[in-house]
Amino acid sequence: GRPDNGRTAPPPGQFDKLAIGQAHGCAYGDFILPVCWGRPDNGRTSPPDLTWFRDMAAGRSTTCGLEAFSGEVVCFGDDYQSLVTSRPEGSYARISLYFAHACVASFVDQVKCWGRGSEGQTEVSDALLGGTVPAAGRFHSCAIDLVADTYCWGDDDALTAVPAQTFIEVAAGETNTCAIRLLDGGITCWGGDGDGQSRPPNGRFVQITVGEAHACALREDGEVLCWGKNDRGQTDVP
């Protein structure tokens, strides 16, 4: 990927999870304090002292996470589009942040989104029955609800209707969305495909993430596969 500002130089150490944004990233774990790197301005790489997170996500110039014990939303960095000051109250299990808006979900509450909503990406679909897996894209959002139905809302200029399949994970990017199927662990993508970002490889997968025009997924055997735009080596897995 693009190496300036140290964005491709993570710190040493052992971590369980990653949160990667536009020009910075954070590594953390259930019992591991977060360490962030990359472009440091606006405090996006400076998490609060002695704060553990159960889930984290990074965007344009803001980082958000769910405090490990309370599940409350904690955000730091640039307050662009009021991401820091308008975060919702309550306890949550999952968080997703892309560019300038974020979504959270718990097992009892409706999915909540905040930040930039110019294309309707923060106006959560009324059809959702609760929510367990949120996915924030650039101008759209998606979520899997309590009965395993998937819904998307926001800008659909480059999106097609959500496929009539059951998914266990969903990730949204700039103009496309990818999800892992419950039936066989394979990946289905829909929306923009100008760089092949909606043409995933075959296999059984357990995790997925989508970027501006590329995507990566973790297979059951531990191998990471990436596809889509590769002008800066973003799909060249080490």
Which CATH number do you get for residue 101? 2.130.10.30
Same domain for 98 and 21: yes
DSSP conformation class of 208: E
Contact in structure between 235 and 226 (CB atoms under 8 Å): yes
Boundaries of domain holding 134: 1-155
Same domain for 146 and 125: yes
0.85 surpassed by pTM: yes
Tokens matching residue 159: 């999106």
Same domain for 188 and 102: no
Same domain for 124 and 205: no
The answer to whether the Cα torsion of 98, 102, 105, 110 is positive or negative is negative
d(C-alpha 148, C-alpha 151), whole Å: 10
| Position 5 pLDDT exceeds 90 | no
Q: Which of 155, 184, 216 is the endpoint of a domain?
A: 155
| Position 229 pLDDT exceeds 60 | yes
d(C-alpha 72, C-alpha 206), whole Å: 26
Q: Which of 36-40, 44-48, 84-88, 129-133 has the lowest mean pLDDT?
A: 129-133
Same domain for 96 and 8: yes
Instruction: At 100, give phi and psi (nearest 5°).
Output: -135, 15
